[in-house]
Amino acid sequence: MIPGVRLVILGKQGAGKGTQCVRLARHYVVPHISTGDMFRAAAKSGTPFGERARQFMEAGELIPDEVVIGLVRERLDQRDTRDRGYILDGFPRTVHQAEELDKFGGVELVIDLEVPTEVVLERLASRRVCVDCGTNYSLSGPPRVDWICDVCGGEVIQRKDDTEDAILRRLDLYEEQTAPLISWYLQKGLLVTVDGLGHPDQVHARMIRAVDHWRARHQPQ
Ligand code: ADP
Ligand code: ZN
């Protein structure tokens, strides 16, 4: 069996993290841990916690650090992640979160999926998503039948935080809080950048190559 990995994927909203992380998780046979998906699931469940998460998300604001950190710490403590590793998507998003992850995670490699801002703005405005399984579509690549998910039959809608105001707010927060993580991981010698433009298959191939090259260079002799 292929060895597991412990990867963090960074990238702006709309860079394609979600799509690529699903594929990487399948390739390396490790869990895909998306904090955004975890909070959306909580919001759907309608609990008081989920309700608070929904308010932050719809405004495009970040969930408070301590909440996110607690959730991820618990998740990484499960059997599957301890045995095989993980693909982290949407965490860490602040330097404080990264410092905490260092204590309980132990990251092998961080991939920055790079896409210019003009492109992500276009992608986000046209993004549509299945409410049930999270599969992404777009205005130019809709499901086969009438906004019904090809994968699971769920309803395909525009995310509440994909409105213009929330998108701009999320991109501002990205520059302010998340972009500093790139230099933080670079200093630790853990960062590689992968070009996120092009067909998802091409981007996927680039990401696998980046991990494999990195491993070849860092393998203990
Ligand atoms: P995007 O990257 O497109 O904004 P995600 O699906 O990754 O979307 O996350 C959706 C929302 O969930 C974020 O806007 C934020 O409110 C919350 N969230 C997800 N991950 C974190 C995190 N690590 N720290 C704080 N908030 C988070
Ligand atoms: Zn679906």
Ligand whose nearest atom lies closest to the CA of 16: 1
- Average pLDDT over the chain reads 93
Residue nearest to atom 15 of ligand 1 (CA): 62
Phi, psi of 216 (to 5 degrees): -60, -35
Q: What is the pTM of this model?
A: 0.90
Q: State how far the Cα of 157 lies from the Cα of 189, in Å rounded to an integer.
A: 40
Low-confidence residues of the chain: pLDDT under 70: 220-221
- pLDDT the model gives residue 106: 83
**Could you tell me if the CB of 57 is within 6 A of ligand 1?**
yes
- pLDDT the model gives residue 164: 86
- pLDDT the model gives residue 209: 97
Residue nearest to atom 23 of ligand 1 (CA): 91
**Could you tell me if the CB of 62 is within 6 A of ligand 1?**
yes
Burial 191-201, CB ≥16 within 10 A → b, else e: beebebeeeee
- pLDDT the model gives residue 218: 85
Residue nearest to atom 1 of ligand 1 (CA): 13
- pLDDT the model gives residue 73: 95
- pLDDT the model gives residue 67: 93
Could you identify the atom of ligand 1 that is nearest to the CA of residue 124?
A: 3
- pLDDT the model gives residue 1: 81
Sorted by where each starts, the structural domains of the chain and their CATH numbers stand as: 6-115+191-218 (3.40.50.300)
- pLDDT the model gives residue 102: 94
For residue 7, the surrounding DSSP H or E stretch is strand 5-10
Residue 86 Cα to chain centre, angstroms: 12
Distance 207 CA to ligand 1 centre (A): 22
**Could you tell me if the CB of 159 is within 6 A of ligand 1?**
no
For residue 198, the surrounding DSSP H or E stretch is none
Q: Distance between the two ends of the chain, CA-based, in angstroms?
A: 21
Q: State how far the Cα of 49 lies from the Cα of 30, in Å rounded to an integer.
A: 28
- pLDDT the model gives residue 220: 64
- pLDDT the model gives residue 147: 96
- pLDDT the model gives residue 161: 87
Ligand whose nearest atom lies closest to the CA of 150: 2
